[in-house]
């Protein structure tokens, strides 16, 4: 839970498109939830930005590949769709994006640091996902799935062969997939017995790994059935993926309907130590980050969420304004540990914000940083901060970003 809140506060505000903004009313005030009038000019946003950013100024050589990876993520099934018992993901909020700069790491594969591009050249973009049987790691089976696009079908085949050659274990055959290279390790001194399988499918490399710390003896046939079902679901999902021509990937649009430009950007004090998650994610791609994807998907479906913009804040675009209240209630129930969190005052002049902080006297309060949820029209924003004062200013700034142009 602590990791979820720390990173979600810096993880997955959305605002109106330029067209909608231009058509909005001229007043600078907003009628908030339950008719409360928010006087935007009286909100204390400190030194945080309150006008939409120019997302194009953030473009890097990797930006297009990130967008393509998210497209792949939107077509990648959840592990729970392979087997509905795998409804947990303790990897929540770890980046799922794979690019030539953010290369995949395959547990149990004998790869030397920095040699991926040498033995498996041509990586374009890809996506990683994960699922497990139990809420805590190591107490049940776990499945990893990687879906990686290469520059050609030949490159995908070379990668599958080379990576399989670096994966130790006994060989095994996957039903209906004779071309898959599969090995299993029934016993290891540290970690879990596992099965790993590599399959080239057109210009895509598919990788499925099943870790099984509890089955004694390790049954390769049972694990192979999971691998087969995973390949079935991945290939079915890829029918919904429209690959961008390689020469157009670098110019892919970074924002969607102006959503990302209205998130609160990272600053030097809260920039993530790993991959920067800043992007717009279709709902399906975003749910891969959830620690409880079944519950998260149900909440987003109920609210009619289509896209989620992420930077230092997380913004959800819902079906309509009436859906925001239900979504906030669902997100609070999912994210907050009632034993360790208590409600705190909303920012001054922003009474509709729902804010929480660690209860006084709890151990490890840094694991429970303060958080607020706000709604504006059909948008919900989740805002985190270093302390309550900082949180209030960030929340006010995010509200102003959502209201900008109205």
Residue 11 Cα distances to 28, 167, 265, 346, angstroms = 29, 33, 11, 22
**Residue in 244, 167, 240, 247 with CA at minimum distance from that of residue 199:** 167
Neighbours of 22 (CB within 10 A): 10
Each domain of the chain, given as residue ranges in start order, spans: 2-59+254-403, 63-238
**End-to-end Cα distance, the chain:** 36
Quick one: pLDDT at residue 16?
23
> CA 98, 100, 102, 107: dihedral to nearest 10 degrees?
70
Quick one: pLDDT at residue 105?
86
In sequence order, the β-bridge partners of residue 37 are 31
Quick one: pLDDT at residue 113?
74
Instruction: Give the global pTM.
Output: 0.88
How many CA atoms lie within 13 Å of 64's alpha carbon, on the beta-carbon side? 12
Beta strands of 202-353 (E only): which ranges? 204-211, 279-282, 307-310, 314-317, 341-344
* Second CATH level (architecture) for the domain 63-238: 3-Layer(aba) Sandwich (3.40)
Quick one: pLDDT at residue 406?
54
Cβ within 8 Å of residue 178, ≥6 positions away: none
Beta carbons of 130 and 142 less than 8 angstroms apart = yes
Residue the block writes with tokens 């999971």: 226
Mean pLDDT by 10 residues, the chain (406 residues): 34 28 38 72 96 93 96 98 93 82 87 87 97 85 97 98 95 97 88 93 98 88 97 98 98 95 86 78 95 93 97 96 96 88 97 96 88 97 96 98 83
DSSP 138-189: TSS-EEEEEEEEESSHHHHHHHHHHHHHTS-SEEEEETTEEEEEEEEES--S
Quick one: pLDDT at residue 35?
60
Quick one: pLDDT at residue 4?
36
The tokens for 187 are 């016993």
């Amino acid at each position: 839970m602590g990791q979820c809140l720390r990173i979600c506060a810096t993880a997955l505000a959305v605002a109106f498109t330029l067209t909608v903004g231009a058509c909005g009313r001229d007043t600078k005030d907003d009628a908030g939830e339950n008719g409360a009038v928010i006087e935007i000019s009286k909100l204390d946003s400190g030194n945080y930005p309150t006008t939409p950013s120019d997302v194009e100024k953030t473009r890097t050589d990797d930006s297009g590949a990130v967008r393509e990876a998210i497209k792949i993520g939107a077509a990648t099934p959840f592990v729970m769709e392979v087997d509905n018992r795998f409804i947990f993901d303790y990897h929540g909020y770890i980046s799922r994006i794979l690019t030539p700069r953010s290369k995949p790491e395959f547990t149990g594969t004998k790869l030397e640091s920095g040699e991926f591009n040498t033995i498996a050249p041509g990586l374009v973009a890809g996506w990683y996902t994960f699922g497990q049987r139990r809420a805590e790691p190591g107490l049940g089976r776990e499945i990893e799935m990687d879906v990686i696009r290469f520059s050609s079908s030949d490159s995908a085949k070379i990668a599958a062969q080379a990576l399989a050659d670096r994966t130790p274990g006994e060989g095994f055959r996957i039903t209906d997939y004779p071309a898959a290279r599969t090995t299993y390790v029934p016993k290891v001194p540290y970690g879990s017995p596992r099965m790993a399988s590599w399959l080239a499918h057109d210009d895509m490399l598919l990788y499925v790994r099943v870790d099984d710390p509890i089955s004694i003896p390790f049954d390769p046939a049972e694990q192979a059935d999971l691998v087969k079902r995973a390949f079935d679901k991945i290939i079915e999902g890829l029918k919904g993926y429209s690959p961008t021509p390689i020469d157009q990937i670098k110019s892919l649009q970074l924002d969607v309907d102006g959503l990302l430009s209205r998130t609160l950007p990272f600053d030097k004090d809260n920039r993530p130590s790993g991959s920067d998650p800043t992007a717009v994610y279709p709902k399906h791609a975003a749910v891969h980050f959830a620690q409880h994807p079944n519950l998260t998907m149900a909440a987003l479906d109920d609210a009619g969420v289509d896209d989620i913009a992420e930077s230092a804040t997380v913004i959800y675009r819902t079906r309509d304004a009436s859906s925001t209240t239900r979504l906030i209630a669902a997100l609070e129930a999912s994210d907050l540990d009632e034993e360790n969190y208590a409600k705190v005052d909303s920012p001054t002049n922003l009474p509709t914000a729902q804010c929480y902080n660690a209860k006084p006297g709890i151990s490890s309060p840094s694991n429970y940083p303060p958080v607020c949820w706000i709604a504006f029209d059909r948008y919900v924003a989740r805002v985190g901060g270093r302390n309550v004062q900082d949180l209030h200013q960030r929340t006010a700034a995010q509200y102003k970003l959502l209201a900008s142009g109205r």
